[in-house]
Amino acid sequence: MKSSLAHAKILVSEDDGNKAKGYRTSCDEELGSKIFEEKLRKFKKELNRNYESLIRTQIPYESLEEPITMADTKPLIASYPITLEQLNKKIPEVLKETGIEKCIQCGTCTGSCPSGRRTAFRTRVVIRKALLGLREDLLKSNDIWLCTTCYTCYERCPRKISIIEAIIALRNMAAAQGFMLPRHKEISKYLVSYGHLVPINEPNKKRRTELGLSEVPPTVHSHPEALEEVKKLLEVTGFTKLVG
Amino acid sequence: MKVLGELRFAFFLGCIMPNRYPGLEASVRRVFEKLGIELVDMKGASCCPAPGVVRSFKFDTWVALGARNLSIAEEMGLDIVTGCSGCYGTLRDIWYEHREKKEIRDKVDYYLSQIGKSFKGKIKVKHVLEVLHFDVGVEKLKEFIKKPLSNIKAAVHYGCHILKPSDKRPWKEGTEKPRFFDELVEVTGAKSIDWKDKFMCCGAGGGVRSGALDVALHMTKEKIENAYASGADCIVNACSFCHLQFDTGQIEINKSYGTSFNMPIIYYTQLLGLAMGLSPEELGLHQNNVSVEPLLRKLGVN
Ligand code: SF4
Ligand code: SF4
């Protein structure tokens, strides 16, 4: 319910904005009709009642008026790291390098998404919300965590938008804000302790021996000094603190 | 004329291959040995780190640990080969971004200097299939086939990160209908069959297996159903995480959906190894969760 209403707000607002600028919108024909005016009023009433906080986080429409350059269609990658300082900036600005402002909302991404096929996750909506800067809605929702990073949408997007880079950037922001799934925190701790997200265990030591492999692989598992290096990097990049 | 004996690689293991499916590791090592390709251990390598989770939580950690792994191979003076498409995604993408972007080079320099290491981008990152396809080649592989797997119908699962993002991958066939993996399977004598959603994700990546297991398994279930519908004898993969998702996942699916799937899951070098005359035990096939007996019986191996 929540997400469909939030979505409705986005669509209504988009049409409002375009109308004001004199652009044709998909709703032009309907716009004059009483039914549409009635629908619009009802939507706005509900949304204002339930989504004040979301509306507050929405960015002004001026940023959508930036001209889209057709020339640059090579994939663009987000700028990292996403620092706390940047978190206070508008999401579309932070994600600018992913090219999301070129999105034409065609839905090819959603139509290609194996995760969206069985969940309410809609890639196109995530991109739209990011453009609008619906920060809380994005960072607190499960949607951004349902992407398997299969890259199908990226390969098919007619605007060559770096969709996965955008989702990864949003996940980095969410994690920095403390929105991490409990299980993700749990497995991260294995990396911090062992240098492997999936460390060796007794049954697999046995399997290795059976196969004539070394009981423990020649990785950090066999080299304590190497594990110290990994721990140092986890420390200086802030990972240990993030998942601690 | 290629002389296989001159091929040497730093063998990057990752986590799942050595620590959950050592049979896959054994199969890569034995097949490469037979082909005369030398694999040298990367002492002290760590988790790649996983692109779906670590990169999602903290981008810099992903870059720093990935660059450390790359630096180990660079010190050895060898290109990396890995049999896990997740590791491949991480190492190849970082390698690529390091080459393309100063911002990433600065990060790598800074973080690696903290542990007295450096990476200059002098080595390459390859997938096991990439070595077999480009460096060895299907024609050469044919010479090594001793026991063609003639009556086997294989549902080939490419997986995602071996193919995509395509601008950072070596294949020149696009991502909608490539053929290189099918060709590698068919050289063993098995038939690569058409199946619905062949190129769909296994469901495990992006932190979905760890974060939303039900969603991940639902995807895997759809793939296994499609494989059954096509009359496949097995699903052949080229990624240790896909392998885990199909094999361990199948047990989980049977538990939560009450199904009784028992579709054999074969990693590519296990399939190739069988055709080269290696025994199922040498290739670790008996260590799968889902029994491969029906397949071996059909082959007349056991
Ligand atoms: S496929 Fe690309 S352009 Fe189309 S909606 Fe998705 S992100 Fe936007
Ligand atoms: S990369 Fe993520 S959003 Fe894109 S199609 Fe795959 S699962 Fe969906």
Is the pLDDT at B8 greater than 50, yes or no? Answer: yes
Place of tokens 């200059």: B120
Neighboring chain B residues of A243 at a CB cutoff of 8 Å: 57
Tell me the nearest-neighbour CA distance from B187 into chain A, angstroms.
26
pLDDT tens track for B199-229:
999 999 999 999 888 889 999 999 999 999 9
Distance B85 CA to ligand 1 centre (A): 26
Atom 2 of ligand 1, nearest CA residue? A157
pLDDT tens for each residue of A161-192: 999 999 999 999 889 888 888 889 999 999 99
Residues A95 and A55 in one domain: no
Which CATH number do you get for residue A133? 1.10.1060.10
CA distance B275 to B273: 5
- Cα A141 to Cα B53: distance, rounded to the nearest angstrom: 17
- Of A53, A79, A105, the residue that ends a domain is A79
End-to-end CA distance of chain A: 34
Final residue belonging to a domain, choices A51, A79, A107: A79
CB distance B81 to B126 below 8 Å = yes
CB A198 within 8 A of CB B16: yes
Positive or negative CA dihedral for B212, B215, B217, B223? negative
Ramachandran quadrant class, B17 (left: phi over 0; alpha: psi -120 to 50; beta: rest): alpha
Nearest CA to ligand 2 atom 4: A153
Number of domains in chain A: 3
> Is the Cβ pair A200, B19 closer than 8 Å?
yes
The whole-angstrom separation of Cα A94 and Cα A100 is 10
Predicted confidence at residue A85, as pLDDT, reads 45
CA distance B263 to A21: 58
Q: Does ligand 1 have an atom closer than 6 angstroms to the CB of A161?
A: yes
- Assess whether pLDDT exceeds 60 at residue A138: yes
pLDDT at A67: 26
pLDDT at A62: 29
Q: What's the half-sphere exposure (Cβ side, CA atoms, 13 Å) at B191?
A: 11
Does the pLDDT at position A23 exceed 70? Answer: no
Determine if ligand 1 sits within 6 Å of the CB of residue A166: no
Mutate to test the pocket of ligand 1, among A103, A155, A156 (most ligand atoms within 8 A of CB): A103
Q: Which of B44, B302, B240, B18 is nearest to A207 (CA)?
A: B18
| Complex-level ipTM | 0.95
Q: What is the mean pLDDT of chain B?
A: 96
Taking CB atoms and an 8 Å cutoff, what residues of chain A touch B111?
233, 236-237
The token duo for A178 is 């403390």
Any long-range contacts for A119-123 (C-beta under 8 Å, 24+ apart)?
A119/A146, A119/B215, A120/A3, A121/A146, A121/A147, A123/A147, A123/A153, A123/A163
- CATH code for the structural domain at B138-299: 3.40.50.11810
Residues of chain B within CATH 3.40.50.11810 domain(s) are 138-299
Q: Is residue A199 less than 8 Å (CB to CB) from chain B?
A: yes
Q: Please tell me chain B's helix, strand, coil percentages from 3-state DSSP, rounded to the nearest 5.
A: 50, 10, 40
Largest CA distance in chain A: 78
Tell me, in angstroms, the distance from the centre of ligand 1 to residue B58's CA: 25
Do the Cβ atoms of B211 and A238 come within 8 Å? Answer: no
Higher model confidence: residue A38 or residue B134? B134
Instruction: Check residue A50 and give its pLDDT.
Output: 43
Across A22-36, A118-132, B102-116, the highest mean pLDDT is recorded for B102-116
Q: How far apart are CA A96 and CA A149, in angstroms?
A: 20
Instruction: Flag the least confident range among A138-152, B144-158, B184-198.
Output: A138-152
pLDDT at position A181: 85
> Is the C-beta atom of A106 inside 6 A of ligand 1?
yes
Final residue in a domain of this structure, among A176, A206, A235: A176
**Nearest by CB to A217, which of B18, B53, B63?**
B18
Place of tokens 């991940």: B216
Confidence band (pLDDT; 50, 70, 90) for B267? very high
Distance from C-alpha of B1 to C-alpha of A223, rounded to nearest angstrom = 39
Contacts of B15 in chain A (CB under 8 A): 196-199
Average pLDDT, chain A: 74
- Examine the domain organization and report whether A148 and A223 are in the same domain: no
- Per-residue model confidence (pLDDT) at position A10: 36
**Residue B225, C-beta contacts closer than 8 angstroms, at least 6 positions apart:** none
Q: What is the pLDDT of residue A53?
A: 36
Q: Kindly give the number of the ligand 1 atom that is closest to the alpha carbon of A127.
A: 7
Instruction: Indicate whether A67 and A115 sit together in one domain.
Output: no
CA of A168 vs chain B CAs: smallest distance (Å)? 5
> What percent of the residues of chain A are helix, what percent strand, and what percent coil, each to the nearest 5?
60, 0, 40
Chain A contact set for B22 (CB, 8 A): 204, 207-208, 211, 213
Confidence at residue B251, expressed as pLDDT on a 0 to 100 scale: 96
How far is the first Cα of chain B from the last one, in angstroms, to the nearest whole number? 37
For B233, residues 6+ apart whose C-beta sits below 8 A from its C-beta are B152, B153, B154, B264, B294, B295, B298
Pairwise CA distance, residues B14 & A217, whole Å: 10
- If phi > 0 it is left, if psi is from -120 to 50 it is alpha, else beta; for residue A219 that is beta
Same domain, A62 and A94: no
Question: How many of the other CB atoms lie within 10 Å of CB of A49?
Answer: 8
> Is the same domain home to A136 and A201?
no
E-only strand ranges, B13-122: 38-41, 80-82
- pLDDT tens digits for range B48-71: 999 999 999 999 999 999 999 999
pLDDT digits (tens, 9 = 90+) for B97-121: 999 999 999 999 999 999 999 999 9
Domain match, A95 and A164 both: yes
pLDDT tops 90 at residue A109: yes
Same domain, A58 and A11: yes
How confident is the model at residue B295, as a pLDDT?
Answer: 95
Q: Which residues of A touch B287 (CB under 8 A)?
A: 207, 210-211
Could you give the percent of chain B with pLDDT greater than 90?
94
For residue B9, give the 3-state DSSP assignment: strand
- Nearest-CA distance from A65 to chain B in Å? 29
- Measured CA angle at B53 (ends B51, B58), to 5 deg: 90
Q: Which domain holds residue A193?
A: 182-243
The reply to whether ligand 2 has any atom less than 6 angstroms from the CB of A112 is yes
- Interval B39-50: pLDDT, tens: 999 999 999 999
| CATH fold for domain B4-128 | Glutathione S-transferase Yfyf (Class Pi); Chain A, domain 2 (1.20.1050)
Distant-in-sequence, close-in-space partners of B154: CB < 8 Å, separation ≥ 6:
B185, B190, B191, B192, B193, B232, B233, B234, B235, B236, B266, B271
What distance in Å separates residue A110's CA from the closest CA in chain B? 14
pLDDT of residue A39: 66
A138 and A207, same domain (yes or no): no
pLDDT band at residue A21, thresholds of 50, 70 and 90? Answer: very low
Pairing of strands B8-12, B80-82: parallel
List every span in chain B annotated with CATH 1.20.1050.140: 4-128
Peptide bond into A182 cis (omega under 30): no
Average pLDDT over residues B231-241: 98
| pLDDT over 70 percentage in chain B | 98
Please tell me the predicted confidence (pLDDT) of residue B259.
96
* Closest Cβ–Cβ partner in A201, A207, A229 for B287: A207
Gap between the Cα atoms of B281 and B140, Å rounded: 25
**pLDDT digit string (tens) for B119-133?**
999 999 999 999 999
> In this structure, are residues B40 and B8 in contact, taking their beta carbons and an 8 Å threshold?
yes
DSSP string over A69-92: PSS--S-----S---HHHHTS-HH
Greatest mean pLDDT among A11-15, A189-193, B296-300 lies in A189-193
Between these two residues, A25 and A237, which has the higher pLDDT value?
A237
Cβ contact A114:B218 at 8 Å? no
3-state secondary structure of B38: strand
Question: Residue A212 has what pLDDT?
Answer: 97
pLDDT tens-digit map of A51-69? 333 333 333 322 222 322 2
User: Do B90 and B66 form a contact (C-beta atoms < 8 A)?
Assistant: yes
- Do A6 and A53 fall within a single domain? yes
Cβ pair A36, A27 in contact under 8 A: yes
